[in-house]
C-alpha cells in the first residue's frame, strides 16, 4: 500500500486519551497528530460519563465511541450511537427489551456466559476459544438488552454456579474464610456488569485495530478480528495484569473479591496477547510478563516511545532557584507513582543537602485521598506546609519556606525540566515513561526506579534505584546533586541519546509502517483470515455444546431427584 493512502484505525484507550492526561495520552496525541493520513475511530473506556476533552480534536478523529463503565442507568445513555451516522432509535431499544425473555437468556446467553466465567479459572494461555465467546456475546447484545440480561434470574443462577465451581470441586485449595458469601457474589456480578459495558458499543469495520493496553478495551479488537478479519496491533505501556496485581493487593477486599478481580484481569490480558497479530511493547522489559501470559515471541516488535528534541531543549535554570540544588518530577499524584518514597528520600537527602528543593508537577485530581496522605507526610517530616488545593501547595513564592512541594499541573511541560538540576521518578510500575525521555532531551539527568523500561532508557545515562527503597533513591539524588562534573556529563549524554535513538519521528514511523503493513495484509489475505476464524469457531462450538449437554444432564438429574422425593 502507498504510505499516503488513507487508512482507518480503531484506536482503543482505557482511562486515558482523549479525556485524561498522562504519558499514554501524550503518546496517543502524538500518533493522532503525526499521522494525519490515518482516520482514527477512538474507542475510549472511562470510569464515569462526566468527562471533558483534554486535547484538541483533530480532523482525522472521525468518530469517538465513549464507554463509561460506571455512572449510567442505561448503556444507551452514553454508549449506543445517537449522534453518529447510524443512530439507534428508541423503538429499537424498546423492542430489544421486549425480546429479552428469560427463555431467550437461558438458551442464547447463559451458555456463553458460563463459558466466559470458566475462563476466569483457566490456568493455561490457550484462551483462543474464549475470544470467540467474547465475539458471540457482542453479537447477542446487538439483538438483546444488556440490562435485562444481566439482571435476570438465569444469569444470577449461572453466575453463582460457575463462580462456586472451584470451591465445590477443589475444597482442599481454600481455607474456610476464603469462601465467598452472598455479598461477595452480588458485588462480583455487579463489577462484571460494569466492566463488560463495552459489549454495548458498536465496533466499526476498519483497516486495522490498535489497543493501547491489554485490558477490556482490547476486546473490541478481538471482536473486530472475528467479525471483519481486522488485524490487531497491541501496544503495552505499563503491563496491565501486573498493575492490577499491585492495585488489587493494596485494597481491603476479601480474598474472594481479590481473586475474582485478578483472575478477570489475567483473562483479559491473555486474550489480548493471544489475538494480537503484532505486540509492540514500548520497552523490552514488558516481555517478561507478556510471553508467560501467552504472547507469541515471533509477533513481538518493540517500538520505543520518542520525544521531539526541538521542543524539549536544554535551557537556563530560573533565577529564583539558582542558589538551590533542585530536583523536579512530572507525575500525576496517585499510588503507582509512589510519591511517598520520593518524599521520604527527600527527607534523607536533606540531611546531606540542607538547601535542597524538590518540586512535583502534575495533576492532583487523580486520587485526592492519596494526595492528602502525601501532604500529611510532608508536614510530618517538616519538608513544607503540606497544604494546598488541586492547583498546588501553598508557599510557591517563599522558596525558603519549603523543601518539598506539589506544583500542580504545568501547561508547558518542556519548561519543567530546566528548573531542576535532576529529575526524579519513583514509580512502582511504568512502561517507557515520557517524563524520563523529556528530561533527557532537556539535558537533565534522572534518578529513577528500576521499573518497566526506565533502565533501558537511562542505560548508563542516569542513576537507577530499586523501587520503594528511599535510602538508595536518596543516595542517587545526593550523588548527582553533589557532583557537578558527573551531572553535566550525564546531561550531555542524555541529550545525545535522545537525538540518536528516541525521537518522536522514529516512534511514529514504526507505527505508520505497522498500520500500512497490516492494512495491506487484511486486503490481500481475507480468505485465509476467514478460514482461520472458521477453524477456531468449530473448536469453540464443541466447548459450548459440552456446556449445554452438561447442564441438560444436570437438569434432568435434578428433575428425577425431585420426582423421586415427591413419590
Contact at 8 Å (CB) between 300 and 276? no
Would the pTM count as exceeding 0.75? yes
Contact at 8 Å (CB) between 224 and 201? no
> CA-CA distance, 469 to 344, in Å (whole number)?
9
Average pLDDT along the chain, 567 residues, taken 10 residues at a time? 86 95 92 97 94 93 94 77 60 90 97 97 94 98 96 97 96 94 97 95 96 97 98 94 92 96 97 98 94 95 95 94 96 95 98 97 93 96 92 81 93 92 96 94 97 92 96 98 96 96 96 97 95 94 90 59 53
pLDDT recorded at residue 67:
94
> CA-CA distance, 564 to 567, in Å (whole number)?
5
Contact at 8 Å (CB) between 201 and 227? no
Q: In the chain, how many H helices and how many E strands?
A: 22, 14
pLDDT recorded at residue 557:
58
Closest CA to 214 of 243, 246, 251, 250: 243
> CA-CA distance, 166 to 410, in Å (whole number)?
50
List, in sequence order, every residue forming a beta bridge with 408; answer none if it has no partner.
Answer: 361
Contact at 8 Å (CB) between 184 and 139? no
pLDDT recorded at residue 285:
92
> CA-CA distance, 417 to 269, in Å (whole number)?
35
Cell output for 534: 472458521
Which alpha helices (DSSP H) does 442-566 contain, by range?
454-458, 470-482, 484-501, 504-524, 526-566
Q: What percent of the chain has pLDDT over 90?
A: 85
Non-local (6+) Cβ contacts of 438 within 8 A are 307, 312, 330, 413, 414, 416, 417
Give the DSSP H or E segment for 407.
strand 404-408
> CA-CA distance, 378 to 363, in Å (whole number)?
18
CA dihedral 174, 179, 185, 188 (to 10 degrees): -40
Which alpha helices (DSSP H) does 276-431 contain, by range?
287-290, 339-350, 368-380, 413-419
Closest CA to 151 of 96, 199, 193: 193
Amino acid at each position: 500500500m502507498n504510505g499516503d493512502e488513507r487508512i482507518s484505525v480503531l484506536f482503543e484507550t482505557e482511562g486515558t486519551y482523549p479525556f485524561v492526561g498522562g504519558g499514554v495520552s501524550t503518546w496517543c496525541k502524538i500518533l493522532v497528530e503525526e499521522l494525519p493520513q490515518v482516520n482514527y475511530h477512538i474507542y475510549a473506556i472511562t470510569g464515569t460519563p462526566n468527562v471533558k476533552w483534554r486535547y484538541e480534536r483533530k480532523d482525522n478523529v472521525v468518530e469517538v465511541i465513549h464507554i463509561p463503565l460506571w455512572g449510567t442507568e442505561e448503556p444507551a445513555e452514553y454508549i449506543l450511537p445517537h449522534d453518529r451516522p447510524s443512530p439507534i432509535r428508541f423503538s429499537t431499544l424498546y423492542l430489544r427489551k421486549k425480546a429479552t425473555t428469560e427463555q431467550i437468556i437461558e438458551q442464547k446467553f447463559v451458555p456463553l456466559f458460563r463459558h466466559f466465567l470458566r475462563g476466569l479459572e483457566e490456568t493455561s494461555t490457550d484462551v483462543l476459544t474464549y475470544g470467540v465467546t467474547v465475539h458471540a456475546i457482542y453479537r447477542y447484545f446487538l439483538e438483546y438488552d444488556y440490562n435485562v440480561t444481566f439482571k435476570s434470574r438465569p444469569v444470577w443462577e449461572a453466575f453463582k454456579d460457575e463462580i462456586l465451581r472451584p470451591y465445590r470441586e477443589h475444597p482442599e485449595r481454600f481455607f474456610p474464610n476464603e469462601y465467598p458469601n452472598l455479598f461477595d457474589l452480588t458485588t462480583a456480578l455487579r463489577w462484571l456488569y460494569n466492566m463488560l459495558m463495552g459489549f454495548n458499543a458498536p465496533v466499526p469495520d476498519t483497516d486495522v485495530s490498535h489497543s493501547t493496553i491489554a485490558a477490556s478495551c482490547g476486546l473490541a479488537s478481538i471482536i473486530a478480528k472475528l467479525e471483519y478479519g481486522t488485524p490487531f496491533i497491541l501496544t503495552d505501556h505499563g503491563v496491565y495484569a501486573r498493575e492490577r496485581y499491585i492495585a488489587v493487593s493494596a485494597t481491603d477486599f476479601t480474598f474472594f473479591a481479590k481473586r475474582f478481580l485478578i483472575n478477570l484481569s489475567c483473562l483479559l490480558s491473555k486474550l489480548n496477547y493471544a489475538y494480537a497479530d503484532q505486540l509492540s511493547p514500548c520497552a523490552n522489559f514488558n516481555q517478561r510478563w507478556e510471553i508467560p501470559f501467552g504472547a507469541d515471541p515471533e509477533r513481538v516488535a518493540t517500538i520505543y516511545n520518542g520525544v521531539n528534541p526541538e521542543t524539549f531543549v536544554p535551557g537556563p535554570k530560573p533565577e529564583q532557584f539558582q542558589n538551590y540544588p533542585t530536583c523536579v518530577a512530572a507525575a500525576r499524584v496517585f499510588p503507582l507513582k509512589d510519591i511517598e518514597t520520593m518524599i521520604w528520600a527527600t527527607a534523607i537527602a536533606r540531611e546531606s543537602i540542607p538547601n535542597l528543593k524538590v518540586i512535583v508537577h502534575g495533576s492532583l485530581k487523580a486520587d485526592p485521598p492519596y494526595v492528602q496522605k502525601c501532604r500529611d507526610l510532608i508536614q510530618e517530616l517538616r519538608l513544607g506546609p503540606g497544604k494546598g488545593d488541586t492547583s498546588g501547595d501553598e508557599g510557591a513564592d517563599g522558596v525558603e519556606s519549603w523543601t518539598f512541594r506539589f506544583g500542580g499541573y504545568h501547561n508547558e511541560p518542556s519548561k519543567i525540566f530546566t528548573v531542576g538540576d535532576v529529575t526524579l521518578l519513583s514509580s512502582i510500575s511504568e512502561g517507557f515513561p515520557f517524563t524520563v525521555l523529556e528530561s533527557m532531551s532537556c539535558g537533565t539527568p534522572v534518578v529513577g526506579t528500576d521499573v518497566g523500561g526506565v533502565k533501558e532508557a537511562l542505560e548508563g545515562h542516569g542513576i537507577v534505584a530499586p523501587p520503594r527503597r528511599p535510602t538508595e533513591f536518596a543516595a542517587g539524588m545526593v550523588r548527582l546533586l553533589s557532583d557537578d562534573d558527573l551531572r553535566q556529563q550525564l546531561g550531555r549524554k542524555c541529550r545525545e541519546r535522545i537525538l540518536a535513538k528516541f525521537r518522536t519521528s522514529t516512534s511514529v514511523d514504526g507505527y505508520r509502517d505497522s498500520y500500512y503493513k497490516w492494512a495491506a495484509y487484511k486486503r490481500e489475505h481475507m480468505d485465509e483470515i476467514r478460514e482461520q476464524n472458521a477453524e477456531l469457531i468449530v473448536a469453540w462450538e464443541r466447548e459450548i455444546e459440552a456446556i449445554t449437554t452438561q447442564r441438560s444432564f444436570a437438569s434432568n438429574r435434578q428433575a428425577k431427584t425431585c420426582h423421586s422425593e415427591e413419590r
